[in-house]
Amino acid sequence: MKNILLLIHDDEGQEARYQAALDVTRALGGHLTCVDLTIIPEVMGDYVDMGTGVLLAEEQADETRNAVRMRARLEREDVPFDWSETTGFLSRTLEERSRLADLIVLSTDMDGEIFPRMTDVIGELLVGTGKPVLAIPPNAKPLALDGRVMVAWDGSEDAEAALAAAVPLLTRAKTVVLYYADDRSMGAPIEDAARYLSRHGIEPVIKKDPLGIDRVSSALLCEAEMGHHDLVVMGGYGHSRTLETIFGGATRSMLRKSKVPLLLVHHR
């Protein structure tokens, strides 16, 4: 996990994802690839009238100013980076630029204020690229990679893929909690996941909670926040324009409601 792809765009989530990308790049001794993107609204398609053309021109002007600010900041940081500027559709452009990336750093949009909705974009990237996505809430506190990490487990192939991809980060965590919201549908046993981590020098804590009347998404949100976790690792399944999940909708709920950063992976 050395090649980190970061979206540069002047929206409410930019600062939090910028800081998280710096933290991950430093921790892993990686390289940061910044894609400064002027986003073409999906509603434009191949047709641009005078009104939408004006909006695109304003977006380009805003991004030019943003690029000057952000690149000047990045040049003062202690991370190697490269920078490219482009105009295009968000999902399509990120998918094209992520071919040699090990990790994509994006934002969540709990209030749906980033256009297009990032929940949908992340779902498309999970399927289209197979790359891990680090999704940072716009109001997230600084990412503590040496803190507590919760790994959501249900024994599926997506959960296995997420666990394996997260190892470089989990080795830096103070505490790793393997968490199963017990709806009696577990695939591979959680003890297998614990043994896998132990061979990487990680000794996780296993926690199982019976669901009762709660939904899996509610249990995950509660554990993530009440357990004071700094990062949640979980499998995710996406498809065009909506995000379904290994937990029957839980990934989508986490993307929209979690205050804790998420590392998401989809098994291809």
> How much is the pLDDT for 42?
65
Statement to judge: residues 23 and 121 lie in one domain: yes
pLDDT score at 246: 43
Tell me, what's the pLDDT at 179? 95
Q: Are residues 111 and 82 in the same domain?
A: yes
| CATH classification at residue 38 | 3.40.50.620
What pLDDT sits at residue 58? 82
> How many domains does the chain fold into?
2
Indicate if 129 and 233 belong to the same structural domain. no
105, 167: one domain? no
Instruction: Report pLDDT for 243.
Output: 47
The pLDDT averaged over each successive group of 10 residues in the chain (268 residues) is 96 96 97 95 54 72 94 96 95 95 90 64 90 95 96 92 97 97 82 97 94 77 94 76 51 89 91
Residue 202: domain span:
148-265
- Pair 21, 127 in one domain: yes
Question: Which pLDDT does position 138 carry in this prediction?
Answer: 93
**Distance of alpha carbon 108 from alpha carbon 71, whole angstroms:** 23
Distances (CA, A) of 148 to 51, 52, 200, 236: 48, 45, 17, 21
**pLDDT score at 237:** 61
Residues 246 and 159 occupy one common structural domain = yes
pLDDT at 88: 92
pTM greater than 0.85 (yes/no): yes
> For residue 105, what are its two tokens?
């750093």
- Distance, in Å, from the CA atom of 181 to the CA atom of 162, rounded to the nearest integer, reads 17
Last residue of a domain, one of 136, 164, 184: 136
In this prediction, residue 41 carries a pLDDT of 74
Out of 107, 136, 165, pick the residue that ends a domain: 136
Q: Quick check: is 85 in a domain?
A: yes
State residue 54's pLDDT score: 66
pLDDT at position 186:
77
Half-sphere exposure of 182 (CA within 13 A, CB side): 8
